[in-house]
Chain A
Amino acid sequence: RKEVEQDPGPFNVPEGATVAFNCTYSNSASQSFFWYRQDCRKEPKLLMSVYSSGNEDGRFTAQLNRASQYISLLIRDSKLSDSATYLCVHKAAGNKLTFGGGTRVLVKP
Chain B
Amino acid sequence: DTAVSQTPKYLVTQMGNDKSIKCEQNLGHDTMYWYKQDSKKFLKIMFSYNNKELIINETVPNRFSPKSPDKAHLNLHINSLELGDSAVYFCASSTSGGVGPDTQYFGPGTRLTVL
What is the interface of chain A, defined by CB distance below 8 A to chain B? 31-32, 34, 41-46, 49, 85, 87, 91, 93-99, 101-102
Contacts and interface: CB of A to CB of B under 8 A. Distances in A.
A95 B43 contact: no
A101 B44 CA distance: 10
20 contacts: A41-B109, A43-B90, A43-B106, A43-B108, A43-B109, A45-B106, A49-B101, A91-B101, A93-B98, A94-B48, A94-B56, A94-B98, A95-B31, A95-B98, A95-B99, A95-B102, A96-B48, A96-B56, A97-B45, A101-B41
B81 to A, nearest CB: 22
Interface residues of B, number: 24
B51 interface: no
Interface in B63-81: none
B101 A44 contact: no
Contact of A44 (B40, B43, B48, B98): B43
A49 B104 CA distance: 12
